[in-house]
Copies of this chain bind each other. A is one copy, B any other.
Amino acid sequence: MEDATQRLGYRVKRAAAALRGALDRALREHDLTVPQYACLELLDQRPGLSNAELARGTFVTRQSMNTVLRGLQDSGLITRPAAADHGRALPAHLTEQGRRRLDAARSAVYAVDQRMTDAVPPERLADLLADLDRMAAAFER
């Protein structure tokens, strides 16, 4: 195991890089970046999430998500109250325009995901998902 390209980390990195590139290309025609799309998708499934919660859900820092949210807000894709009624968390929601943009981009993203999914033998998909979860969990603290 002296060749670093044989190690698990290298393979994960390569697969993730390929995925990221494909997503970038697919989302560009919808004028969305990957974090922006991830944010919209998360917000569609769980409306009212705060900045910090969205950051954790998309694997970026609060600060990065803050700028992402501001951009989405300026584009009119999401809304956030100016002040919090309880605590400091500001619950974000999709606007009608945001929902439409998400619907348009979703098909492109799903096609990318499907292309990747189709590349693995179907009988191994469940194990693969479980292993990816275990790898991620191995670094949580």
CB proximity to B under 8 Å, residues A1-31:
3-9, 11-23
Chain A contact surface mostly: helix
- Sorting the interface of chain A by its residue count into under 10, 10 to 19, 20 to 34 or 35 or more gives 35 or more
Q: Which residue of B lies closest to A34 (CB)?
A: B13
Residues B135 and A19 in contact, CB atoms below 8 Å apart: yes
How far apart are the CA atoms of A3 and B140 in the complex, in Å? 22
Q: A41-B4, A133-B11 are in contact. Are A19 and B128 (CB under 8 A)?
A: no
Interface residue? A124 (CB, 8 A)? yes
Residues B137 and A9 in contact, CB atoms below 8 Å apart: no
How far apart are the CA atoms of A20 and B20 in the complex, in Å? 14
How far apart are the CA atoms of A129 and B131 in the complex, in Å? 11
